Structure 1
């Protein structure tokens, strides 16, 4: 037993020794671990934290193919042409010296286009000269350097001194091609793919760039695009433009676009349809997570989203009809200019709409330069340029007379020479005697309209008496005119649309009745005549009828994403009987025995109705006459309404030498119905 107890004690002693050793070893290991952690956290903590911060992931987006534009018949109008491109994606905070060295290597195989070389400034050349001459230290005097060391002058002050002392002849030694490349590299936003060259990139340049990708970090080869048009200059201004890679985001809308996630060098629509529908055409950008090291160099990237091509637009415009309208306008302008007393004639406008929907079928403004004998497209003038439109507005006057109760349907008025005390005489182009509302429209009686307007302003014509009216009532007349779109924006959608100018001369307020007081745009007249044609509904003018997904196959258009429905802006406050009466009067203008447009439309198969107009105007201080026509066809089922205005058609004081507005209208109607086989 004693021997056994002795052995047991010995075993326990050995176990205690082992456990003590084990605990000591564990203690040592924990101590080492604690010390190591202390070193990491305290001694090297800042360094490791800096390394973590230095390796960052940045999301970078890049553009995708822009959507195409088709006409109403699905004919391709605007599309993209692919172009070889060489790009540069700069790291974070690149050093000027590094960029210059990289520029020299790129200049070894890449020749920039002349437009880029022309953008090189003297300042660009001076910056390069400083980089190549020890930052221009040789240009400073010792006293200046000492002042800098004593912090009595700032870096920017010395920099300015250096720039002033660089001689122009020294700049001549700097390669302009190199300078153009350096200018691009040095102004490129960090991590943003910037196009170095995307026009006239040669196969050799493209191949060399592709071969040197590893040697030149940030350089890449890709495919860029430019907008192209299938119909030449037809409708060119309204289609709009897209900014170039150099322009990037428009300066006046920089905050707007950057807030939406755009980068400064992104290309966007900068005018009219391209701008108005930029969010549709732009598509969803490709997004790439870019991983950079502590030096800001890109070490890896990961595609987060492949993006999606922009959607396509289908316009309401029939481009073949549009081309015909422009041709007609040009031919008639040239023909009219050959007539006497047309010294200031050079412009015409046309707007053609679908009465039931407000969809624009064609719109154009054409300006002729007598010196170059060339035409300029001025289509935006259809909603940015307002004129005295003349008698085309008389339909609104008659309807307002009905609605305000100063005229009854069929009521007669004496057309006579009106004489006001101290204000002279006013008359129609001839005395017409007693006439009713229909004849007043058919023969275009000014006197009927003036008397109506005077009574609407609580006045009454008294031969040789003083004109007494309530001037505040002019706003009531304007209220009813507004219902047709006269004097208010048509809501076509462009921010530069004008509502026209309101006349302020109280003594001539009654002239509003014949379109000689307030000014209206061709688009407003088109909306007005459309409202009468369709039964009293003021329609929003529309240029786009569908938005479709991009289809990159040969099958044609993609599926419809959004169909733009017609928009009724308001229904006029006149009953159907009143409206039908004016419609009948408009038909007598084109078909009546004394109709002012009978000779142009009475024998036409499309059965038009409408109203002619002439109005006094001025150009370059010279008094002239505008010619206009607003109408629709067919009379009983309108498919097209048009507004035509020829400003400054002939000089005042002479007999009317031509009827360009009527002839253009006649030919536009013919072109439409010949192309549509009479319509539905």
Structure 2
């Protein structure tokens, strides 16, 4: 019997269509939300930020170009122009904002028809680049290269230029083409809207006329002015003033990236040494900045240019000239290596004159070397004794009231005897003042021993000498400016050489005491003399007294900055200790007795206080001498230092006094009337 068929339940499988509306609703909601947010953002951009975007669009369609200004002048302390600017006609090129190589090549060739320039600096790269910009020449090069890239591509340019550079002799350029290639090199090296000089020297009237008449054929090429430094009073101060780069030499290679970042162009003039370099930021001025729109006719001055500020020196040009002549006319022969002198204002640190002459002791040739005062150090001998005696008083081994010691030859066990020039064997009673008058070596050597914890006795050893005595002496010297940089406003200053102080050099501590070990520069001696003269504060020397600026439409400079007196430190002595040194330096010139070392200076008027020095040296294996001196007039604004190294004849070891007399005479005549 057939079973009845069961009635199946109507079980529908879940239908995916029933879920679609839910998903669509979610997605639609998300889309609507995004559209709302997008609408809000568009409204924000179009309404709220409309002005800023317009400004950004405008700024992208304009560029800034800079125009050169004159460099600042340099005057001496009387207002005499030492360094000025000379304007000469030049041919310039202002690179358009947008220009391709082909157009620049055309402009260079057109310009080259009327302008001849020096091609010595044509680089191999630019030679090759110029060569292949001509299609016929480029094909000639390409025929020599296998697997040549697509014509005109970067890879093609690299291949053909590299090949020409490697085989330059196979692809010659005529002299005219080299001239054009050099013009192309100058043009292509410029930044957009920057100006470079195509020619600055010997520009002819014909070249100026031809360029002026044809500017429409060579856009960007114009007749301009190029300023060079000139020296109306001669070049006697050139070694202090320094030098300025020109359009040919360009920016110094060592500083080119820094200077470019500061807004210089590659062919700008920039100070490369001494004052021109040290005061570059003041002398260079600020360029005129012009905003150029998408149309070059739309030009707006953003910043008016300002010529460089002027430097007013403390140096007196006439005295500087006479000072240099004194050194050159009186320098001894033989093995003498030079002569150097500095005159300084003890109260302000202003330099009245700083002259120098270097002597080639092979052929006797003299070279101006004023900067030798800051970068040539010598052993200076007995001029250090005022500092040494001061250091002894401040370390309490003697006092201003109790300083009597007998001068005796110093005999250290196992070494040669060291003595004063006037006392080889006996015993001469001295005070600190008469020790300076007679320039006693023994006195200051005994001071060193006492600071080192020892009292002198014949054939003693230095095994127990306190090593700190070295630092005591050098610290004492440094308070006056010896053995440390003076801080003068010129680059390249050196400190001199400090000798070794290990145990094997204990005996050299005796030499250090009377100036026969460490070396010092003439500018350090000048600062030292000034410190004594002004009562004990060490002032920083400087050759610039103030910086001024001449405003437009004005014939008078406006003072911008006065270089202030900068005190670097003080000696720290008492009035009575200072008096000991002054009295001793007075006796050097005006003392009585047979051993007065500076008596030849007695007739200098107004009367001076001084300390002379002689240091034994060796030059080319021969015994030589350095003759030195420092001097000042009490309560006046001048001190003088002199150094003459390498003198062959011992009878001339006091020649510094002869120089000193002549220098004082020139100072009173040129700078200040003697009273």
Please identify, of 233-242 and 619-628, the stretch whose mean Cα deviation from structure 2 is larger.
619-628
5 Å-filtered alignment, 1:376-455, equals: 376-409=367-400, 410-431=402-423, 433-455=428-450
Partner Cα separation in structure 2 for residue 131 and residue 156 of structure 1: 12
Counterpart in 1 of 2:631? Answer: 631
- Cross-structure match for 1:572: 571
Q: How does 1:185-224 map to 2 (within 5 A)?
A: 185-224=187-226
Matched, 1:67 2:69: no
- Indicate yes or no: 2:54 matched with 1:56: no
- Is the Cα–Cα contact under 8 Å of residues 625 and 650 in structure 2 kept in the other structure? no
| Preserved CA contact (<8 Å) 1:67 1:550 | no
Cα separation, partners in 2 of 1:371 and 1:299, compared to 1, 3 Å: farther
Deviations 1:448-503, CA, capped at 9 Å, x for gaps: 01110121122232211212311133112211211111111101133421111111
Q: Secondary structure at 2:146's aligned position in 1?
A: helix
- Separation in structure 2 between the aligned mates of residue 552 and residue 506 of structure 1, nearest angstrom: 65
Distance in 1 separating the partners of 2:148 and 2:525: 76
The answer to whether the 8 Å contact 1:349/1:379 transfers is yes
Cα offset, 1:506, TM superposition: 3.1
Encode CA deviations 1:522-575: one digit per residue, 9 max, x unaligned: 0011001110011011111011112122267784x4122222222222221111
Q: Does 1:480 align with 2:485?
A: no
CA distance, structure 2, for counterparts of residue 679 and residue 392 of structure 1: 26
Cα deviation per residue 1:587-641 (whole Å; 9 max; x = unaligned)?
11111124644342112222011111111223344442111011112x3x23310
Distance 1:395 1:303 in 2: 62
Indicate the residue corresponding to 1:229 in structure 2.
Answer: 231
In the alignment, is the contact (CA less than 8 A) between 1:54 and 1:292 conserved in 2? no
| Residues 1:604 and 2:604 aligned together | yes
SS in 2 for 1:66: coil
Distance, in Å, in 2 between the alignment partners of 1:322 and 1:462 is 50
Aligned residue number for residue 586 of structure 1: 585
Q: 2: distance between equivalents of 1:438 and 1:488?
A: 27
**Secondary structure of residue in 1 paired with 2:207:** helix
CA distance in 1, matches of 2:435, 2:650: 23
| TM-score for the superposition, normalised by structure 2 | 0.85
Task: Give, in angstroms, the shift of residue 241 of structure 1.
Answer: 1.1
The match for 1:107 is 112
Query: Partners in 1 of 2:580 and 2:673 — Cα distance?
Result: 25
1:312 paired to 2:307: no
Output one character per residue of 1:341-375: Cα deviation in whole Å (capped at 9) or x when no partner.
x2x21411001001121110000111234677653
Partner of 2:359: 368
What is the alpha-carbon distance in structure 2 between the residues aligned to residue 141 and residue 581 of structure 1?
A: 91
Match of 2:664 among 654, 665, 669: 669
Q: For residues 554 and 81 of structure 1, do their structure 2 counterparts lie closer, same or farther at Cα, with a shift above 3 Å needed?
A: farther
> In the alignment, which residue of structure 1 is the partner of 2:329?
331
| C-alpha distance in 1 between matches for 2:145 and 2:79 | 75
* 1: CA distance, partners of 2:59 / 2:613: 74
Alpha-carbon offset, residue 422 of structure 1: 1.9
1:164 deviates by 2.7
Mapped to 1, the partners of 2:336 and 2:144 lie a distance apart of 71
Match for 2:459 among 455, 464, 467?
464
Deviation at 1:126, TM superposition (A): 3.4
SS of the equivalent of 2:62 reads: strand
User: For residue 619 of structure 1, what is the aligned residue in structure 2?
Assistant: 619
2:283 matched to which residue of 1? 281
Listed one character per residue, the Cα deviations across residues 133-188 of structure 1 (whole Å, up to 9, x for unaligned) are: 54633334588236779x9x876355423433443573356543323322222222
- Separation in 2, partners of 1:214, 1:441: 81
Q: Do structure 1's residue 79 and structure 2's residue 79 form an aligned pair?
A: no
Which of residues 251, 259, 262 in structure 1 aligns to 2:261? 259
Aligned to 2:561: 562
Q: Is the 8 A contact 2:93 2:196 kept in 1?
A: yes
How much does 1:441 deviate?
A: 0.4
Alignment correspondent of 1:34: none
Residue of structure 2 in register with 1:46 after alignment: none
Equivalent residues of 1:461, 1:467 under 8 A apart? no
- Cα 1:434–1:278 change in 2 (3 A) is same
Whether contact under 8 Å (1:347, 1:368) holds in the other structure is yes
Once the two structures are superposed, what CA deviation does each residue of 1:240-268 show, in whole Å capped at 9, x if it has no partner? 11111233332222343233333333221
Give the structure 2 partner of residue 322 of structure 1.
320
Is the 1:589–1:595 Cα contact (8 Å) retained in structure 2? no
Contact 2:439 2:597 in 1 (8 A): no
1:649 aligned residue: 647
Mapped to 2, the partners of 1:371 and 1:519 lie a distance apart of: 24
Are 1:389 and 1:515, in contact at CA under 8 Å, matched by a contact in 2?
yes
Alignment of 1:124-163 (within 5 A): 124-134=126-136, 136-140=138-142, 144-145=146-147, 156-157=158-159, 159-163=161-165
Q: Is the CA contact (8 Å cut-off) linking 2:319 and 2:671 kept in structure 1?
A: no
Aligned CA RMSD, in angstroms, stands at: 2.8
The equivalences for 1:519-530 within 5 A come to 519-530=519-530
Q: CA deviation at 1:424?
A: 2.1
Distance in structure 2 (CA, Å) of the matches to 1:321 and 1:411: 41
Change (3 A) 1:54 1:229: closer
Task: For residue 311 of structure 1, report the CA deviation from its aligned partner.
Answer: 1.6
Q: Which runs of 5+ in 2 are unaligned?
A: 1-53
Counterpart of 2:489? 493
Change (3 A) 1:203 1:140: closer
SS at match of 1:167: helix
Cα contact 1:356–1:639 (8 A) shared by 2: yes
The gaps in structure 1 that reach 5 residues or longer are 1-48
Of 588-597 and 212-221, deviating more is 588-597
Distance 2:179 2:383 in 1: 61
Contact 1:235 1:377 survives alignment (8 Å): no
Report the Cα distance in structure 1 between the residues aligned to 2:554 and 2:337, rounded to whole angstroms: 44
CA distance in 1, matches of 2:662, 2:287: 46
Q: Is the 8 A contact 1:416 1:433 kept in 2?
A: yes
Aligned counterparts of 1:227 and 1:523: Cα–Cα separation in 2: 28
Which residues in structure 2 correspond to 1:30-45 (within 5 Å)?
A: none
Rounded Cα–Cα distance in structure 2 between residues aligned with 1:368 and 1:544: 28
Q: CA deviation at 1:519?
A: 1.0
Over residues 633-656 of structure 1, what are the superposed CA-to-partner deviations in whole Å (9 max), with x where a residue is unaligned? 2x3x23310110001112xxx632
Give the whole-Å Cα distance in 1 for the aligned partners of 2:551 and 2:315: 21
- 1:79 deviates by 0.6
Check whether the contact 2:287–2:306 (CA below 8 A) recurs between aligned residues: yes
Q: Deviations over 1:22-73 (max 9, x none)?
A: xxxxxxxxxxxxxxxxxxxxxxxxxxx9x96996211122221111111101
Distance (whole Å) between structure 2 residues aligned to residue 89 and residue 364 of structure 1 = 44
2:138–2:160 contact (8 Å) kept in structure 1? no
